[in-house]
Amino acid sequence: MRRYRAAPADLRPELWFTYHVYHKAPDWLGPPVAKALGIPYVLAEASFAPKQAGGRWSAGHDAAGEAIAAASAVFNLNPGDVDCVKPLLESPQRLVPLKPFIDTAEYSSPLAAVGTREMLAKRYRLPAVDTWLMVVAMMRAGNKRDSYQLLAEALATLQARSWCLVIVGDGPRRAEVEDMFAAFAPGRIVFTGALAGDPLRALMAHCDLFVWPGVREPIGMAMLEAQAAGLPVVTGHGPGIANIVRDGCTGRLVPRGDVGAFAGAVAGLIDAPQTRADLGSRARRRAVEYHDIATAGATLDRVLTGLKAGSWP
How much of the chain, in percent, has pLDDT values that exceed 70? 98
Q: Which residues contact 1 (CB under 8 A, 6 or more apart)?
A: 33, 36, 37
- Please write the tens of the pLDDT for every residue from 188-228: 999 999 999 989 999 999 999 999 999 998 888 999 999 99
Per-residue pLDDT averaged across 81-101, rounded?
97
Do the Cβ atoms of 254 and 261 come closer than 8 Å?
yes
Q: Measured between alpha carbons, how far apart are the two ends of the chain, in Å?
A: 27
Indicate the pLDDT class of residue 109, thresholds 50, 70 and 90. Answer: low
Position 112 pLDDT exceeds 80: no
- Please write the tens of the pLDDT for every residue from 1-19: 788 888 888 888 999 999 9
Do the Cβ atoms of 99 and 290 come closer than 8 Å?
yes
Task: Look at residue 254 in the predicted model and tell me its pLDDT.
Answer: 98
Task: Look at residue 234 in the predicted model and tell me its pLDDT.
Answer: 99
Per-residue pLDDT averaged across 164-172, rounded?
98
Q: Which domains does the chain have, with CATH numbers?
A: 2-99+294-309 (3.40.50.2000), 105-290 (3.40.50.2000)
How much of the chain, in percent, has pLDDT values that exceed 90? 87
**Confidence (pTM):** 0.89
Indicate the pLDDT class of residue 230, thresholds 50, 70 and 90. Answer: very high
- Please write the tens of the pLDDT for every residue from 23-37: 999 999 999 999 999
Indicate the pLDDT class of residue 20, thresholds 50, 70 and 90. Answer: very high
User: Distance (Å, rounded) from C-alpha 275 to C-alpha 232?
Assistant: 9
Task: Look at residue 118 in the predicted model and tell me its pLDDT.
Answer: 87
Angular region, 309: left φ>0, alpha ψ -120 to 50, beta rest? alpha
Position 110 pLDDT exceeds 60: no
Per-residue pLDDT averaged across 100-115, rounded?
77
Task: Look at residue 57 in the predicted model and tell me its pLDDT.
Answer: 96
Indicate the pLDDT class of residue 244, thresholds 50, 70 and 90. Answer: very high
Per-residue pLDDT averaged across 232-257, rounded?
96
Do the Cβ atoms of 58 and 19 come closer than 8 Å?
no
Per-residue pLDDT averaged across 48-72, rounded?
97
